[in-house]
Structure 1
Amino acid sequence: MTTSLKSSFMPPSLISNLQQVLALKSDGAEKHASEPNKVSCNSSSSSCCALMPSEDTKDKQCPKPVVLVTNGEGIESPGLTFLVQALLLDSHLEVCVCAPKSDRSVAGHSVTVGETISVSSAQINGATAFEVSGTPADCISLALSGALFSNFSKPALVVSGINRGSSSGINMLYSGAVAGAREALLCGVLSLCISMNWM
């Protein structure tokens, strides 16, 4: 299985890690990775490291860049689990998750009004994670507000997915996963949505 992405946008190590996790899934094998060491990000220097640290930054005490993950299919979807596993394989990244509590695949870019949104912590492979009763757009809005995560003021990247099925063409208007990435982009954060056709 291969993943075709612009090499200038995503680090090659992330692509490689994602391919590795998906290959393990298709082989039916289970790999137990040890939980990566946690490093708190200093909000005043959150931009001092790029997603791919250079040789110059490896020796400095630079905080890990934060990758914020969301999706449209809910916190328990296999696509989200595979994506988080792939990101955690890169020890240069801090992985945070804020995803809907239930499947909100076709919520589009809707936001919750007139009702209280509930949030609770969740366990996903050692990543700091929260599940939200709202939509993917609500999740990103909450995550970027500073109300949930105290270890960053702005993530280096938001990744939404892995969405089951196509999110291209007209489906982009309905996709909750695309809306999560779009909400981050509207807030000035680099973002992308990953979708795959699998059964």
Structure 2
Amino acid sequence: MATSVKNNSLPPSLISNLNQVLLSRQQHTIDHQSTNSSSLPSHSRNVDEPDCSKPLLLITNCEGIDSPGLIFLVQALLSDARFTLHVCAPQSDKSVAGHSLTVQETVAVCLVEMSSATAFEVSGTPVDCVSLALSGALFSWSKPVLVISGINRGSSCGRNMFYSGAVAAAREALICGVPSLCLSFDWKKDVSSESDLKNAADLCLPLISAAVRDIERGKFPESCLLNIEIPSSPLANKGFKLTRQSLWRSPLSWKAVSANRHPAAGQYLSNQQSLGIKLAQLSRDASAAGAARRLNSHRKNVEIESVGIAGKFNGQQTAKKYFRLELLEETEKADDNLDFKAVEDGYVAVTPLSLSSTDQSKIETEVSSWISAALGREQRN
């Protein structure tokens, strides 16, 4: 018996039409995806794709991502067009955070607009910013060429460096094995202006460029960070000077303040007044005997909180006082080679800070030689 095979092939014209429809839909999908991709901000697409043709720098600070010192530094580096910049800075002022980390708490990170730099603001400390940025959890790259903390207003000279969130950020980078600079400007109240910060940023460009070049060549001092203090008149500076860390610090002045100068205290007193009114209203509706019993019972169980009042208290009472810390601007006579004295004299003080106190003289000699050679080459270029 012969077996016949039924021909199920479609007409050629129909096949051609179907192919055209499929190709049209495929092209529409590609165009739609391309449009969506191009509509995203450039920094959103390139967060994980840094420009590898230029040295990558990580910028942070202690005063917050909106501080003028950081913005002027980023603008100066971008206008120089030699570097790719990533910024990771605190959301608010953390100037005296020291080397503190946020542990067992959530840190919020938000992408922010900052020219052509990829920038994030972090709810934590300056050390959080550097630690997070270098961890690989936020950026895809492993390590930048250089970490720069600044430009921060106020002194990080002497023992102030132990309080400084700016120095701590640079120190954290050094701990992670990345060379770092800390840039601080000797801000004078009622004298300095934001234009001085812009001049300070321009002043630091040759040093930053020299540092990046010599890091890539393996000639940059690796065992320390450089704490750079810029004098209050950047344009009138006397040059860069190698200095030693002094024992000076800003004098601390603790002052008692009244409750009405403390927001929390004012809120507390307001709550107490409101509570008193409510109790008075209740007492009018109660019998005299019942009110007396409730009052006696209340006195036995409630702890009394006193705001800013000195005296003797029994075991159930708690005294609450309020104080405010102020840093005084006082100086003292010192060796010309110490950091804060050099800044006062108009020099840009460059102080090497290492993680160990051993071989300090060797480090100073190495940094001194590098400054002379690096800045000499940069000026010739």
Band of TM-score, shorter chain = 0.5 to 0.7
Residue in structure 2 matching 1:184, options 141, 149, 173: 173
Match of 1:101 in 2: 91
CA distance in 1, matches of 2:84, 2:122: 20
Amino acid at match of 1:149: F
Amino acid in structure 2 at the alignment position of 1:154: K
C-alpha separation between the residues in 2 aligned to 1:190 and 1:79? 21
Cα offsets for 1:163-185 (capped at 9, x unmatched): 10111101100000111100000
Instruction: Indicate whether 1:153 and 2:119 are aligned.
Output: no
Name the CA distance, whole Å, in 2 between partners of 1:63 and 1:184: 23
SS in 2 for 1:170: helix
Q: Paired residue for 2:62?
A: 72
Mapped contact 1:68–1:155 kept (Cα < 8 A): yes
Structure 1-normalised TM-score? 0.68
- Pick aligned residue for 2:156 from 141, 164, 167: 167
For residues 141-170 of structure 1, what are the alpha-carbon distances to aligned partners after superposition, in whole Å with 9 as ceiling and x for unaligned?
0000111122x2110000001010111101
Q: Deviations over 1:126-150 (max 9, x none)?
A: 2100000000000000000111122
- Describe the SS at the equivalent of 2:88: strand
The residue that corresponds to 1:30 in the other structure is none
Distance 1:165 1:117 in 2: 26
Q: Does 1:92 align with 2:88?
A: no
Answer yes or no: is the 8 Å Cα contact 1:100–1:132 preserved in 2: yes
Q: Residues 181, 167 of structure 1: CA spacing in aligned structure 2 closer, same or farther, 3 A cutoff?
A: same
Distance in 2, matches of 1:77 and 1:155, equals 22
Q: Which amino acid aligns with 2:142?
A: S
Cα offsets for 1:37-93 (capped at 9, x unmatched): x89448xxxxxxxxxxxxxxxxxxx62110100000001100110110111112221
- Helix, strand or coil at the partner of 2:80: coil
Deviation per CA, 1:91-118: give whole Å up to 9, x if none: 2210000000000000000000121001
Asked whether the equivalents of residues 178 and 193 of structure 1 are also in contact (C-alpha less than 8 Å), the reply is yes
Whole-Å Cα distance in 1 between the matches of residues 131 and 158 of structure 2?
Answer: 25
Question: 8 Å contact 1:41–1:65 — kept in the other structure?
Answer: no
- Whether contact under 8 Å (1:107, 1:176) holds in the other structure is yes
Amino acid at match of 1:139: C
Counterpart of 1:137?
127
1-side partners of 2:104 and 2:136: how far apart? Answer: 22
Question: Equivalents in 1 of 2:157, 2:116: separation in Å?
Answer: 31
Indicate the structure (1 or 2) with the bigger Cα radius of gyration: 2
Distance 2:128 2:122 in 1: 8
Structure 2's unaligned 5+ residue stretches are 1-41, 193-381
Amino acid at match of 1:69: I
Contact 1:71 1:99 in 2 (8 A): yes
2:143 corresponds to 1:120 = no
More helix by share: 2
Q: Which one-letter code corresponds to 1:171 in the other structure?
A: N
| Alignment TM-score, normalising by the size of structure 2 | 0.36
Distance 1:97 1:190 in 2: 16
Kept in 2, the 8 Å contact 1:108–1:176? The answer is: yes
Which residue of the partner structure matches residue 184 of structure 2?
195
CA RMSD across the alignment: 1.9
Q: Does 1:81 align with 2:71?
A: yes
